[in-house]
Amino acid sequence: AQKVTQAQTEISVVEKEDVTLDCVYETRDTTYYLFWYKQPPSGELVFLIRRNSFDEQNEISGRYSWNFQKSTSSFNFTITASQVVDSAVYFCALSRSNQGGKLIFGQGTELSVKP
């Protein structure tokens, strides 16, 4: 079965702190895709990143970075120097290459960045 686990339900940090959101996934497929989405209070899910299972290179985009490790089935997300605008619910998701792209989401991690 495919499953995504985000063990951290809520995280609270003070502005400028670094914060890492954990994501662990389960799949027997060799080809799959991993995603992170941000859901601000407005409710609209915003795409952040896609990774395919053959690309384990870490990625950095501004203050955001992602660490993909197949050996531990993890795809963690780090925000450096957090800002109040980073406050949102963050979802990790998995899709299988043979299932038309439907996303399997984790439960989400609610990040609160306080000034």
Partner 1 sequence: GAGVSQSPRYKVAKRGQDVALRCDPISGHVSLFWYQQALGQGPEFLTYFQNEAQLDKSGLPSDRFFAERPEGSVSTLKIQRTQQEDSAVYLCASSSDRLRGEQYFGPGTRLTVT
Q: How far is the CB of 114 from partner 1 (least distance, A)?
A: 21
Running DSSP on this structure, what letter comes out for residue 38? E
97 is a contact residue toward partner 1 (CB under 8 A):
yes
* 4 versus 111: smaller Cβ distance to partner 1: 4
Nearer to partner 1, 86 or 90 (CB): 90
R_g (Cα) of the chain, nearest Å: 14
Nearer to partner 1, 53 or 67 (CB): 53
C-alpha 37/C-alpha 47 separation (Å) is 5
- Is 37 a binder of partner 1 (CB under 8 A)? yes
- Cα dihedral 79→81→83→85 (10° resolution): -30
Q: Please report where in the chains the tokens 């989405």 appear, as a residue.
A: 37
- Applying CB under 8 A, does 43 fall inside the site for partner 1? yes
When asked if residue 45 is in the footprint of partner 1 (CB under 8 A), the reply is yes
Query: Do 10 and 98 form a contact (C-beta atoms < 8 A)?
Result: no
- Nearest distance, CB of residue 41 and partner 1, angstroms: 12
C-alpha 11/C-alpha 20 separation (Å) is: 9
By CB under 8 A, name the binding residues for partner 1.
Answer: 4, 33, 35, 37, 42-47, 50, 52, 91, 93, 97, 99-108
